[in-house]
Amino acid sequence: MRNIRLFWQIFPACVGITIVSMLLVAWLAATTGREFYIDHLKEEIRERALLIEPTIAVLSRGEDRPFQDFVRQTGRRAATRITVVDAGGVVLADSNEDHALMDNHGKRPEVEPALAGETGYALRHSRTLGESMLYAAIPVKLGADQHRGALRLAIAITPVETMLAALHQKMLAIGLAVTALAALLSLASARRISRPLEEMKQGAEQLTKGRIDQLVKINSEHMSVEMAGLAASINKMAEQINRRIRVIIQQRNELEAVFSSMADSVVAIDADQKIIRMNQAAATLFNLPSEVVKGKAVEGVIRNAYLLEMIAFTLTHNLPQEQKVTLFKGGEPILLQTHAVPLRDEDSKSMGMLLVMNDLTKLNRLENIRQDFVANVSHELKTPITAIKGYVETLLDGALDDQDNARRFLAIVVRQANRLDAIVDDLLTLSRIEDREKKEEIRLVTSAAGPVLESALQTCAVLADEKEIVVQVECDEALHAPMNLPLVEQAVINLLKNALTYSPSGSLVTLRGHGSRNMQGEEFVHLSVIDNGPGIAKEHLPRLFERFYRCDKSRSRDQGGTGLGLSIVKHIAHVHNGTVEVESTPGKGSTFTITLPAAKPEQPAIVVS
C-alpha cells in the first residue's frame, strides 16, 4: 500500500467525521421534527372532526341545503377542507368542490378505515388542490337511518414544509460553519502532531547521511509530552550513534594508517578473487595506483603465475601458505617472502584472503655481500698463511742448514707476514670507521684542505723518493671543509700510495685541492690525486671501490696491496657526506677525487650521525 503523509491521514478523517456527524444530526432533527409536527396536526384535525361530527350527523338527517352550507362555511372558516362520504364512497358534501362532480372516495386510504369504524389518516399531494395535504377521516352516522359514513378533514401542510425547509437551511449553514471550524481545528492539531515528526524525520535522515560533524538536535519545545519524550530519545540515540561513528572512524583511520604505512606489501582479496584493498607498498610493487585496483580481478593486477596459484589454493582449501616467489620488475628480480592467509569472519566463514609480501631482495643482497666478504677475507688471509706455513715447514725440514736459502725463505715469510698485517690493519680500519660511525663518534671540525694534502705527502715522501716520483701540491688556501682530519688524511694517503705504487718511476703525481659551487648554490671541496700511471680499464671502474677488488690481482699482491685501500676511501668520504670518483684513461693516468661539502661561514664543529 502506498504510504500517506500523517497530515493527510489525520486531517481528512477529522473533517469527514465532523461532516458525517453533522449530517446525521441534521437528518435526525429534520425527520423527528417533521414527524412530531405531523402527529400534532393529525391530532388537531381529528379533534376538529370530532367537534363538527355531531352537527354533521344532525344536519345529514334534514334537508340538503343547510347541510351543504354548513360544510362549505365551516370549511372556509377553519381553513380546512371538509368532505362527507357515505358508506358506498359517494361524496355527499365537500367544502371546496362540487361534490356531485367528485369521484368515489370509498377507496381513499384515510376513508377506508373510517368507513370500517376507525380513524384514518393520509398524507399526500392533492391533485385537486395542487399542494400537500394531511387527511384525517372519522366514522359518522348519516341520514335518518343513521347509516355509517365518513367525515374527512384535510389541511394543507405546505406552510409546515416551508418552515421545515427554512429550518434545514439554517441547520445547513450551522453545519457548514461547524465543519469549517472543525477543519481548522483538525488542521492545527494535525500540524502540531506531524511537524515534530517531520523534524524528527529530518534529524534521522541527516544522521543516516553520516553528517557526523553536524549533529542536529530536535527542538522539543511546544511539543506534547509524548513527542518531547520521543524527541529526547532520538537526540540521545543520535548522540550515541555519533559517538560510536567517531570511534569507528578513528579506528578505521588508525588501521588505514597502519595498513598504508606498512613496509610489507599487503593485498586483501575476496572469495571471488577480486581485490578488496591494496596498500601503498603493494601498489608500488605492482606499479599500479592502489585506488584503481579496487574490485578488479586478481588476474588483471597480479601477473605472476606462482602468486595466482597461491591465491587460488588458499581460497579453495582455506589454508595458509608461505613461499618465496621471485617477481620481475623492470627486468630486475625481486625476491618476495610471501604469506597467503585465509580471512574468516566471526562464524569462521571464509571471506577471502590476505596476501602479505616481504621484499627480501635487499636482505638477500646484504647476505650475499656478507658471504662474499667472508669468502674474500678467508681467501686473502689464507694466501699469505699458506705461504708462511709452506716456507716455515721447508725450513724445518732442513732448509735452515742452507744459509742462503734460509735467509731468502725467511725474507718471504716476513713479506707474507707483513701482508697479513696490512690486511688485518685495513680490516680493522674499516671496522673501526663503521663502529665509530654507528656510535656517532666521528667529530667533524672545519679545517683547511691544504695542510691535509701536505701531511699526506710527508707520510708518503719515502715511497715517492724511492720511486723518484715528483709529487706537487696545488691548493687554494681559502679551501675549508668540516673534516675528521685523521680520516681524510688516511683517505688521501691511500690514494697517494696507489698513485705512487702503480705509476712508473720518474713520473709526476699531483695533489690538488679546489672548490666548486652547484646550481643550488651549495659549495664543495675537491681533493684530487692525479697520476700519469697506467690508468684503469673502463670495465673495472664500476667495481673499483668494492672490498678486495683489484684490477690485476697478482700485480697488486706483488706491490703489497690488500684490495681494501679504495673501499676505505669510499667509506671515509661517506661519513663526511661526500663522495669519491675516478676518471681514468688507460695508458695516460688516473684522477681520484674526494668531494666533501664545503664549510659554511663560521660553521661550528658538528658530529655526523
* b (16+ CB within 10 A) / e for 203-237: beeebeeeebeeebebebeebeeebbebbeebbee
DSSP strand pairing (332-344 vs 480-483) = unpaired
Query: Judged by CB under 6 A, which stretch of 202-210, 248-256, 551-559, 601-609 contacts ligand ADP?
Result: 551-559
Instruction: Give the span between the Cα atoms of 525 and 565, in whole angstroms.
Output: 21
- Asked if residue 552 binds ligand ADP (CB under 6 A), the reply is yes
Residue from 56, 499, 527, 580 in contact with ligand ADP (CB under 6 A): 499
Q: Which of 562, 576, 593, 594 binds ligand ADP (CB under 6 A)?
A: 562
Q: Report the nearest approach of ligand ADP to the CB of residue 592 (Å).
A: 7
Distance, in Å, from the CA atom of 356 to the CA atom of 277, rounded to the nearest integer, reads 12
Q: What span, in angstroms and rounded, lies between the C-alpha atoms of 126 and 13?
A: 45
Taking a C-beta distance cutoff of 8 angstroms, is the pair 526, 510 a contact?
Answer: no
> Quick check: 384 binds ligand ADP (CB under 6 A)?
no
Residue 29 neighbours by CB under 8 Å, 6+ apart: 167, 171
Of the candidates 390, 383, 332, 325, the one whose C-alpha atom is nearest the C-alpha of residue 358 is 325
d(CA 223, CA 198): 12
Tell me if 498 contacts ligand ADP by CB under 6 A. yes
Q: Is 539 exposed, middle or buried (0-12, 13-18, 19+ CB in 10 A)?
A: exposed
Give residues 579-598 in contact with ligand ADP (rule: CB under 6 A): 590
Asked if 578 is part of the footprint of ligand ADP (rule: CB under 6 A), the reply reads: no
| Residue 374 C-beta: closest distance to ligand ADP, Å | 18
- Written as one letter, the residue type at 533 is G
Rounded to whole angstroms, how far apart are CA atoms 428 and 419? 14
- Our finding on whether 380 is near ligand ADP (CB under 6 A) is no
Residue pair 456/487 in contact by the 8 Å Cβ criterion: no
Cβ neighbour number for residue 391 with a 10 Å cutoff? 21
The owner of cell 666478504 is: 373
* Binding segment (CB under 6 A) for ligand ADP, from list 95-103, 227-235, 451-459, 549-557: 549-557
> What are the φ/ψ torsions at residue 197 (nearest 5 degrees)?
-65, -40
Among 138, 536, 598, 599, binds ligand ADP (CB under 6 A): 536
Nearer to ligand ADP, 272 or 421 (CB): 421
Tell me the CB-side half-sphere exposure of residue 380, using CA atoms within 13 A: 28
Regarding 473 and contact with ligand ADP (CB under 6 A), the answer is no
Residue 556 beta carbon to ligand ADP: minimum distance, rounded to whole angstroms: 3
Stretch binding ligand ADP (CB under 6 A), from 174-182, 275-283, 317-325, 529-537 = 529-537
Residues 6+ apart with CB under 8 A from 562: 380, 419, 422, 423, 426, 548
Edge-to-edge strand ranges of the sheet holding 443-448? 480-483, 443-448, 606-607
Stretch that binds ligand ADP, among 60-68, 196-204, 261-269, 545-553 (CB under 6 A): 545-553
What is the Cα gyration radius of the chain? 65
Q: In this chain, which stretch among 38-46, 160-168, 340-348, 554-562 interacts with ligand ADP, using CB under 6 A?
A: 554-562
Total residues at the site for ligand ADP (CB under 6 A)?
Answer: 20
**Between residues 339 and 419, which has the closer beta carbon with respect to ligand ADP?**
419
Decide whether 83 or 590 has the Cβ nearer to ligand ADP: 590
- Among 123-131, 212-220, 292-300, 548-556, which window interacts with ligand ADP (CB under 6 A)? 548-556
Residue 542 Cβ vs ligand ADP, minimum distance, rounded to whole Å: 12
Amino acid letter at 525? V
**Segment lying near ligand ADP (by CB under 6 A), choices 36-44, 47-55, 411-419, 555-563:** 555-563
| Residues in region 259-278 near ligand ADP by CB under 6 A | none
Quick one: which segment of 317-325, 339-347, 360-368, 559-567 binds ligand ADP (CB under 6 A)? Answer: 559-567
Near ligand ADP by CB under 6 A: residue from 480, 550, 570, 576: 550
Contact 352, 270 (CB under 8 A): yes
Find the binder of ligand ADP among 453, 561, 573, 596 (CB under 6 A): 561
Contact with ligand ADP (CB under 6 A): which of 502, 572, 578, 594? 502
Contact 526, 516 (CB under 8 A): yes
Answer for which of 430, 551, 575, 608 binds ligand ADP (CB under 6 A) is 551
Q: C-alpha angle with apex 416: 413 to 422, nearest 5 degrees? A: 140
Work out whether 563 is an interface residue with ligand ADP (CB under 6 A).
yes
**Sign of torsion, CA 86 89 91 95?**
positive
- Under DSSP, the state recorded for 600 is P
Among 56, 142, 566, 598, binds ligand ADP (CB under 6 A): 566
Closest to ligand ADP by CB, 95 vs 562, is: 562
Least distance in angstroms from the C-beta of 514 to ligand ADP: 19
User: Does residue 531 bind ligand ADP (CB under 6 A)?
Assistant: yes
Q: Does the protein bind ligand ADP through residue 496 (CB under 6 A)?
A: no
Which part of the chain contacts ligand ADP (CB under 6 A), choosing from 49-57, 85-93, 228-236, 532-540?
A: 532-540
Q: Answer yes or no whether residue 571 interacts with ligand ADP by CB under 6 A.
A: no
Binding mask 48-77 for ligand ADP (x = CB under 6 A): ------------------------------
- Which of 114/433 has CB closer to ligand ADP? 433
- Closest approach, Cβ 572 to ligand ADP, in A, equals 13
Interaction of residue 565 with ligand ADP, rule CB under 6 A: yes
Q: Which is nearer to ligand ADP, 26 or 463 (CB)?
A: 463
Long-range contacts of 472-476 (CB under 8 A, 24+ apart): 472/508, 472/509, 472/510, 472/511, 473/510, 473/511, 473/512, 473/513, 474/510, 474/511, 474/512, 474/513, 474/514, 475/449, 475/450, 475/511, 475/512, 475/513, 475/514, 476/449, 476/450, 476/513, 476/514, 476/515
> What DSSP state is assigned to residue 97?
S
Q: Provide the minimum distance between the beta carbon of 559 and ligand ADP in the complex, in angstroms, as a whole number.
A: 7
Binding site for ligand ADP (CB under 6 A): 498-499, 502, 531, 533-534, 536, 544, 549-552, 556, 561-566, 590
